A and B are shown apart, each in its own frame.
Chain A
Amino acid sequence: MSDIVGQAAAAAGAGPGAPARARAVIIGAGIVGNSLAYHLARLGWRDLVLVDKGPMPNPGGSTGHASNFIFPIEYSKMMMELTRDSTEQYKQLGVFTESGGIEVARTPERMTELRRRCTQARAWQIPAELLSPAQVRALVPYLDERVILGGAYFPTVGVVDSLRAGTLMREQAEGSGALTVLAGAEITGIVTDPDASRAGRFDGRTGGRVTGVRTTRGDIETDLVAICCGVWSPRLARMAGARIPLTPVVHQMISVGPIELFEKSPGEISYPIVRDVDANMYERQHGGDMEVGSYAHRPIIVDPDAIPSIEQAALSPTELPFTAEDFDPQLAQALELMPGLLGDERAGIRYAINGLISMTPDGHPVIGETPEVAGLWSVAASWIKEGPGCGRAAAEWMTGGVPEIDIHEADVSRFYPHQRTTAHVTARAREGFNKMYGIVHPAEQWESGRPLRRGPAYDRERALGAVFFETAGWERPHWYESNAALLERYEERLMRRPGEWESRWWSPIINAEHLAMRDNAGLVDLSAFAVLDITGPGALDAVQRLAVAQMDVRPGRVVYTSLLDEAGGFRGDLTIMRLGAHAFRVVTGGATGMMDAKWISDHLPDDGTATLADVTSAWTTLGLWGPKAREILARLTADDVSGQGFPFGTCRPIEAAGITVLASRISYVGELGWELYVPAEQGAALWDALWEAGQPSGLVPVGIGVYGTTGRLEKGYRAFGNELTAEYNLVEAGLARPTVKSGDFIGKAAYLAQRERPPAAVLCTLTVDDHRSASGEPRYMLGGEPVLGPDGQVLTDARGRTSYVTSAGSGPSVGKHILLAYLPAGQAREGNRLAVEYLGERYPVTVAVVGARPLFDPGNERVRA
């Protein structure tokens, strides 16, 4: 600490003043802010300032009251990797203590879920094993094994000292001379230059660019402000006119002690942490006390503006007064599980809080530059188990690199405006809270805030018995109950799922729709597509720089292309239509639309010669595919839609049913047909016209169950986020073309290098040979499962990446359940027999295709018909 002599500043603002300028100002000295400061310094940034209104080392945020334990198991690969990286960082700092952890099951459903978790753990190479009640008891002698049916043991679970970790990271950054820490300094404003919005910028960005912050210790000029303020983050973001979509919610925790057994055990923790997941609680030894935490109580959402100040708080601002009436109903279950230990009358509830934690609409952190304000970054909604990893990823990103972990699922720009509203954030947090320890199906749908985005044909679809799934707020028919009549026709070829788990959020109708489309034609509502127009004299150059594929094609061409990051990983996967010399239309998935828009916008030229407009709401898209698609469309148009007149890979306006339609002949389901773009208000009219014209040809409405899964997988089409992630490349994904365009594009250097060496893994199509489980019941994988070699070990490639199922689904036309997975190059042999583990059992699979060749119609004759 520098020597301070002289008159202290007024009131609580005592301490050194703020530097006039900083490379970056990091707000918040919790685990995330400290980690970010440390990693930025490590990556060579200097003149960093870390500001917190509270005192060090515990300024009063959620880090200060965290229960500080880490379970490595996550279904999300990103969350697993952030947790793994964080754990490594904690270990390097010497603040990690391995304790082991057990999730116990009270119900048969939970036992199945624990099998699923152990299987997922295998895919991620996390040690895990199922335990009998007696085995659980042997590890946790104070647990009544009669209450449980078994447990899943994760021996690498541990506890950390997150405050110490933060202190060490902060002090290292300070010690290297890169960081100035302002404790007890409050941010009173974030200064922006509203005129700094670059011309042609994505129109969501209205807030200009950050130029500095105001603090109670003076103003600091800076180009980069990182909000690492946990539950306060929305308040800080609002100062600059941005929204960080998270909300504080209450997590109740009590600490019971003294526990006689623990008084005798050395150190902070000697017994495994128990997650009583069916009761939504955990029990974790903390020295002489047992901490009991709960996610069982009613969701208690707190307005960020209602968080008390440090001075007003009885404990700390994020340790709100305990509301016993919310916790008490769970006491009986805690006592039931650990009757002797928690039932000891001498052990008292010595500490009890309504601790504030951050929740986002989808449970993932929010990392990245905000879409509204350039230079304003969010690194928030991270828990202790991800904190250091989030800090590192954000630092890698900020300093111009590509985060080693693919964090697109945590990108703050993934949210649409409606998803950043207080109503949406709180509704989803409320809904998600009690799922924290729930058994959540991978396809499980949210209920709150729906229906919001409705396509023009929504009412017609409802009338047809559409079962809607939600993507980015859009209601998308997943299948149509009206097609139940088809079940009989295709009974022989339906891949019915007797297993309860994989029959959830699924219907055999999907398979029937699929077969009907392949026999005749299907009509698909694609309103959820994000549609982005790039126009201007610089548009071609801009698009060329973004896309891997050659975009200097003649107008009227449709190009499927990947977007890469600088390291050659996938950043996007979409189609681009060249509508004119200076006009391109980007069509991408609803789920990634906002991220793609920001990525494109960030890479448009500064001179304003190309502009991006989000025209999603202006256009709606209907897909018409199947062998009879042409005859149906021909009934509505006089334009030439013949194979020669309208070849595959082209687009052009046609007149159909009195509507000017932009027809684009491509397909994601492997059939002849078109994406038909019309102004949104004419979408219903087009639907009606197609519907009527299609009846003589056996047209059926087809849902996203076919479009996104069965049709796609039969064709081996890759999906962004599943197969196409930042961790794999074009060569491995089988998407490398024979030649590389001459001009530069983002990731080109990396891509060229990737082409020079043999791929470590190759994306393959696998088919399941035998579905019978030990009980004889056929089971169907859903994705995420580990792929095992002949030795029963999870396949691992030369880069240490394990093989797991990236997509799974029926292939009704090929009569197989289809799995996609990256396999180590040595195992990527067609006909190679491997195994997939599902819910703890192994199923034989065969490598059907190595690379991108379709399983169905390998010659693509249907598409080009």
Chain B
Amino acid sequence: MEVCVCVKRVPMVGGAIALTPDGQAVDTSMSGFTVSPHEECAVEEAVRITERHGGTVTVLTLGPPEAEQQLRDMLALGAGRAVLLATDGTERGPVATAAAITAAVRDRGFDLLLFGNEAADTGGYQVPVRVAHALGLPCVTGIKRLEVTPGAGAAGRLVAGREYRGSLESFELPLPAVVSVKEGINLPRYPSLPGRLRARRASVEVLDPGPAPAEGLRTERLRVPRAPASRARVLGSGAGAVPALVRVLDDLGVLR
């Protein structure tokens, strides 16, 4: 199995996100960087697949030269190869991103392209689907359960599942295929020390993704939502608040 996982370098943020004064970007002067949580799970899933079925995990990212750090993080988790589509750091929209990824993976013979369901920062929910269409591959998103049966031609297939209103729906796809996964599909491992050492020594293939096509969705600015004024009524403290709490629950009609 040759598995490609696409990841995105995003700032590591806390509960509040600061913006640059012009409102055009997240202020990352105090931030570390990571990949989206869903993508960490995608890498973990890919590593598990290759651990079971053999093959290599290639991690690919479109981003600034510094995104090499995130590729190395993924190499430390068990990916074997890394490809950086190096940009000048300008954010590319989903159409442009999908185009760049499509061009980079087209002739590499991957059996499976894994993505996170959506990027933590932009949350566009569409790059994997666009890549699948461009490559003419079947695609399913939001996956939290994945079983791969490798094989040549029609024999290769996967079964992907996800929750749908409390029950499970599953999809069967022939390989090669595009799947986007969600956190919860697995509990990603932490990098081991030997893993980090290997990642440090590994080489990263750097490619030029070319110019970005224009996007139909144009960002004007970012802003931080207003914090709602507190409206909490404090019912009391400790167990002494329980009678008041029971009254509230009763008023809300949730007591049976």
Write the residues of chain A forming the contact surface with B, with a CB cutoff of 8 angstroms.
Answer: 1-11, 14, 256, 306-315, 320-325, 328, 331-332, 334-335, 342-350, 354
Contact = CB atoms under 8 A, between A and B. Distances in A.
B136 to A, nearest CB: 38
A348 B190 contact: yes
A8 B237 CA distance: 12
A314 B232 contact: no
B194 A311 contact: no
A272 B135 CA distance: 58
Contacts of A312: 13-18, 30
Given A309-B16, A331-B193, A335-B197, 11 more contacts: A2-B237, A3-B236, A4-B237, A9-B230, A11-B229, A311-B15, A312-B14, A320-B30, A323-B32, A343-B192, A348-B192
Given A342-B193, A343-B194, A350-B190, A314 B32 contact: yes
Interface residues of B, number: 36
18 contacts: A4-B236, A6-B233, A6-B234, A8-B232, A8-B234, A10-B229, A11-B230, A14-B232, A312-B18, A315-B14, A322-B32, A323-B32, A324-B196, A342-B193, A343-B193, A344-B192, A348-B189, A348-B192
Interface string B184-201: 000001111111110010
A306 B238 contact: no
B204 interface: no
A346 B191 CA distance: 9
A321 B196 contact: no
Nearest to B244: A5
Given A306-B29, A321-B12, A1 B238 contact: yes
A725 B31 CA distance: 47
A345 B193 CA distance: 7
B69 interface: yes
Contacts of B236: 3-5
Interface string B233-246: 11111101000000
B252 interface: no
A8 B229 CA distance: 10
Given A4-B234, A4-B236, A346 B192 contact: yes
Contacts of B237: 1-4
Contacts of B33: 321
Contacts of A323: 32
Nearest to B229: A10
A209 to B, nearest CB: 35
B72 interface: yes
B47 to A, nearest CB: 12
B200 A328 contact: yes
Contacts of B189: 348
Nearest to A350: B190
Contacts of B13: 312, 314
A349 B199 CA distance: 14
A10 B69 CA distance: 41
Given A321-B33, A324-B69, A345 B194 contact: yes
Contacts of B14: 308, 310-315
Given A5-B235, A8-B234, A11-B229, A328 B196 contact: yes
B111 interface: no
B227 interface: yes
Contacts of B12: 314, 321
B191 A349 contact: yes
Contact of A334 (B30, B72, B193, B234): B193
Interface of B: 12-18, 29-33, 69, 72-73, 189-197, 200, 227, 229-230, 232-238, 240
B12 to A, nearest CB: 5
A11 B32 contact: no
Contacts of A332: 197
A433 to B, nearest CB: 20
Give the interface centre of A2, A310, A313 by most chain B CB atoms within 10 Å.
Answer: A313
Give the interface centre of B12, B69, B234 by most chain A CB atoms within 10 Å.
Answer: B234
Given A3-B240, A312-B30, A321-B12, A14 B195 contact: no
B227 to A, nearest CB: 6
A313 B30 CA distance: 9
B192 A324 contact: no
Nearest to A1: B237
Contact of A8 (B15, B29, B230): B230
Give the interface centre of B14, B227, B237 by most chain A CB atoms within 10 Å.
Answer: B14
Given A7-B233, A308-B14, A312-B18, A349 B240 contact: no
B228 to A, nearest CB: 9
Contact of B195 (A1, A5, A11, A345): A345
A321 B69 CA distance: 13
A10 B197 CA distance: 49
A347 B194 CA distance: 10
A321 B11 CA distance: 10
A48 to B, nearest CB: 23
A491 to B, nearest CB: 56
Nearest to A335: B193
A321 B32 contact: yes
Contacts of A346: 192
Nearest to B18: A312
A348 B240 contact: no
A354 B194 CA distance: 21
A353 to B, nearest CB: 10
B213 to A, nearest CB: 33
Contacts of B17: 312
Nearest to A2: B237
B56 to A, nearest CB: 18
A10 B228 CA distance: 9
A335 B189 CA distance: 19
Contacts of A320: 30, 32
Given A343-B193, A348-B192, A10 B230 contact: yes
B50 to A, nearest CB: 15
Give the interface centre of A309, A324, A332, A343 by most chain B CB atoms within 10 Å.
Answer: A324
A335 B200 CA distance: 14
A105 B38 CA distance: 44
A487 to B, nearest CB: 52
Question: 5 smallest A-B Cβ distances: which pairs?
Answer: A321-B32, A348-B190, A311-B16, A313-B14, A314-B12
Give the interface centre of A2, A7, A348 by most chain B CB atoms within 10 Å.
Answer: A348
A9 B14 CA distance: 23
A348 B78 CA distance: 12
Contacts of A4: 234, 236-237
A1 B195 CA distance: 48
Contacts of A310: 14-15
Contacts of B18: 312
Contact of B30 (A3, A10, A256, A308): A308
A7 B234 contact: yes
Nearest to A332: B197
A149 to B, nearest CB: 24
Contacts of A345: 192, 194-195
A777 to B, nearest CB: 42
A348 B191 contact: yes
A256 B193 CA distance: 8
A186 B9 CA distance: 34
B232 A335 contact: no
A342 B72 CA distance: 19
A321 B229 contact: no
Contacts of A14: 230, 232, 234
B178 to A, nearest CB: 29
A309 B227 CA distance: 15
B69 to A, nearest CB: 6
A322 B76 CA distance: 15
A1 B15 CA distance: 27
Give the interface centre of A306, A307, A349 by most chain B CB atoms within 10 Å.
Answer: A349
Nearest to B191: A349
A4 B14 CA distance: 29
B156 to A, nearest CB: 29
A321 B31 contact: yes
Contacts of A325: 69
